[in-house]
Chains A and B, each alone.
Chain A
């Protein structure tokens, strides 16, 4: 690939490509990601739809928050079980809201750590008002559009500090 063909203007995600320079030598160039630079909006639309459909299923009681995050984070049952240190049978049960209700708080903490979310999010769906609509905190946080709310860990592993912004007039 020629150096001129590798250039993508996308400072948010930089990569190194090995390209042919003008003098015929091959070497590294720093440039933007082609996929993110051209199609990030498409990724976000798909992500939004996936989150929305999983959230709907959570709220209907079809799946638990464990399954919600497992699918969002592209983990298999085996992988999730290995990461939380539980058997596959047990994790499989926790995907179902009925059995999820029997999980210990310390087990929820293990799931929350793997998913890298506050433990309180294993029991709640946070929606934020955005214009006339409500949008999922999970989706907005991924896209760094979470003005108005902040969930922070405290020294107590089972208590989160939730800061909610001032109500606008």
Chain B
């Protein structure tokens, strides 16, 4: 039996949370919002029709894996990564790393995390946990979404690491390899902000960034025609709240965490003008939260007629407008 001493802490999001937690446990002091901000985590994308999703959906963060990659590019913090074709080799490598007392992050299908309540668990291949121990039948896991260290059945972790389908984890593992003695935070933070602004404003794809929010606003009025029945529509409308609040965003679709990053950044690199942006971003997050609570209420009351859909659409158009303005101003200030 192996148990690596590990300080577990809940986090808003699984990827930024597991990166932060691994670094903190390696003795490096960095916050989750700083990891999120430097890696340009904030984003928006709307997917009306995709083979992997049974109903239209949206994302509010950059592509899974990008947080770690961007953090490496901008700070020089290196991670050792592994993928496997053969599940048995993947299992052996994880055990070997644990034998060497190396806490290791694993990419998994969230559905098999059987300590999480059933109503939360969905098939999504981009959940990250940190494995910190192993015995005959279980692994010991630090999951940002769970209040304490928890045991996960060996069989469940193996299934979760080698689930097939969209963004299949392929047994992906990572752990910190080296942390530079000095980091140029000013450069890293500015690069992180610039790239976030670019992603929100300038990607020439109609469903990404602010354009994606506008597309969502336009398409949400079509949702009733795509649902099986009223209860299905209610479920999908209420899922908006899950995607913006519960599914590891820190609230307001990551906008609160980005506000927190800007506040920290203002002090760290002595740019007090970022404080104003931080306050504005908190207000933008409040607007997203109001929208998500409204969607939850409409769904619960089955109040899903054309007028309500139009109301949700208008709220989204408003979000697009304020984010367009915000990121344009932020880009001008930071460049």
Partners in one complex: yes
Q: Are A15 and B238 in contact (CB under 8 A)?
A: no
User: Which residues of chain A come closer than 8 Å to B241, judged between CB atoms?
Assistant: 34-35
Q: Are B235 and A1 in contact (CB under 8 A)?
A: no
Q: Are B120 and A13 in contact (CB under 8 A)?
A: yes
Rounded to whole angstroms, the CA-CA distance of A39 and B240 in the bound complex is 14
With A12-B117, A73-B123, A79-B166 known to touch, is A18 a contact of B250 (CB < 8 Å)?
Answer: yes
Which residue, A16, A17, A36, has most C-beta atoms of chain B within 10 A?
A16
Measured between C-beta atoms, what is the minimum distance from B289 to chain A in Å? 6
Q: Are A18 and B259 in contact (CB under 8 A)?
A: yes
Q: Which of B54, B155, B164, B299 contacts A76, CB < 8 Å?
A: B54
Rounded to whole angstroms, the CA-CA distance of A114 and B278 in the bound complex is 43
Q: Which of B118, B147, B245, B256 contacts A14, CB < 8 Å?
A: B147
Chain B contact residues (Cβ within 8 angstroms of A): what range?
35 or more
**B 163-198 to A, binary, CB cutoff 8 A, 1 in contact else 0:** 111101000000000000000000000000000000
User: Which residues of chain A come closer than 8 Å to B260, judged between CB atoms?
Assistant: 18, 26-27
With A18-B259, A26-B263, A26-B278 known to touch, is A83 a contact of B54 (CB < 8 Å)?
Answer: no
Measured between C-beta atoms, what is the minimum distance from A88 to chain B in Å? 9
Q: Are A82 and B164 in contact (CB under 8 A)?
A: yes
Question: Which of A41-49, A129-137, A160-168 is the contact stretch?
Answer: A41-49
Q: Are B147 and A79 in contact (CB under 8 A)?
A: no
User: Which residues of chain B come closer than 8 Å to A42, judged between CB atoms?
Assistant: 234, 238, 299-300
A64 interface residue per 8 A CB criterion: no
Measured between C-beta atoms, what is the minimum distance from A86 to chain B in Å? 10
B291 interface residue per 8 A CB criterion: no
Q: Are B286 and A1 in contact (CB under 8 A)?
A: yes
Rounded to whole angstroms, the CA-CA distance of A1 and B289 in the bound complex is 9
Q: Which of A30, A38, A80 contacts B10, CB < 8 Å?
A: A30
A22 interface residue per 8 A CB criterion: no
User: Which residues of chain B come closer than 8 Å to A6, judged between CB atoms?
Assistant: 251
Q: Are A50 and B10 in contact (CB under 8 A)?
A: no
**A 102-145 to B, binary, CB cutoff 8 A, 1 in contact else 0:** 00000000000110100000000000000000000000011110
Q: Which of B32, B145, B300 contacts A28, CB < 8 Å?
A: B32
Q: Are B10 and A14 in contact (CB under 8 A)?
A: yes
**A 49-88 to B, binary, CB cutoff 8 A, 1 in contact else 0:** 1100000000000000000000001111011101111000
Which residue, B111, B164, B252, has most C-beta atoms of chain A within 10 A?
B164
Rounded to whole angstroms, the CA-CA distance of A38 and B241 in the bound complex is 12
Rounded to whole angstroms, the CA-CA distance of A18 and B249 in the bound complex is 9
Q: Are A75 and B10 in contact (CB under 8 A)?
A: no
Measured between C-beta atoms, what is the minimum distance from B184 to chain A in Å? 24
Q: Are A85 and B164 in contact (CB under 8 A)?
A: yes
A149 interface residue per 8 A CB criterion: no
Q: Are A78 and B52 in contact (CB under 8 A)?
A: yes
Which residues of chain B from 276 to 299 have a CB within 8 Å of any chain A CB?
278, 282, 285-286, 289, 293, 296, 299
Rounded to whole angstroms, the CA-CA distance of A39 and B246 in the bound complex is 13
Q: Are B251 and A19 in contact (CB under 8 A)?
A: yes
User: Which residues of chain A come closer than 8 Å to B238, judged between CB atoms?
Assistant: 35, 39, 42-43
Rounded to whole angstroms, the CA-CA distance of A79 and B167 in the bound complex is 10
Rounded to whole angstroms, the CA-CA distance of A19 and B112 in the bound complex is 31
Q: Are B159 and A116 in contact (CB under 8 A)?
A: yes
Add 12 more A-B contacts to A12-B117, A116-B112 (CB < 8 A): A14-B10, A16-B11, A16-B144, A25-B263, A26-B256, A36-B119, A40-B119, A73-B111, A74-B54, A80-B165, A82-B164, A116-B159
Q: Show 30 A/B contacts (Cβ-Cβ < 8 Å), sorted by A.
A: A1-B282, A14-B146, A16-B17, A17-B245, A18-B12, A18-B256, A18-B257, A19-B256, A20-B282, A26-B260, A28-B11, A28-B250, A30-B10, A33-B245, A33-B246, A34-B293, A36-B119, A39-B296, A40-B119, A42-B299, A43-B119, A43-B238, A46-B232, A50-B231, A76-B51, A79-B165, A79-B166, A82-B165, A114-B163, A153-B155
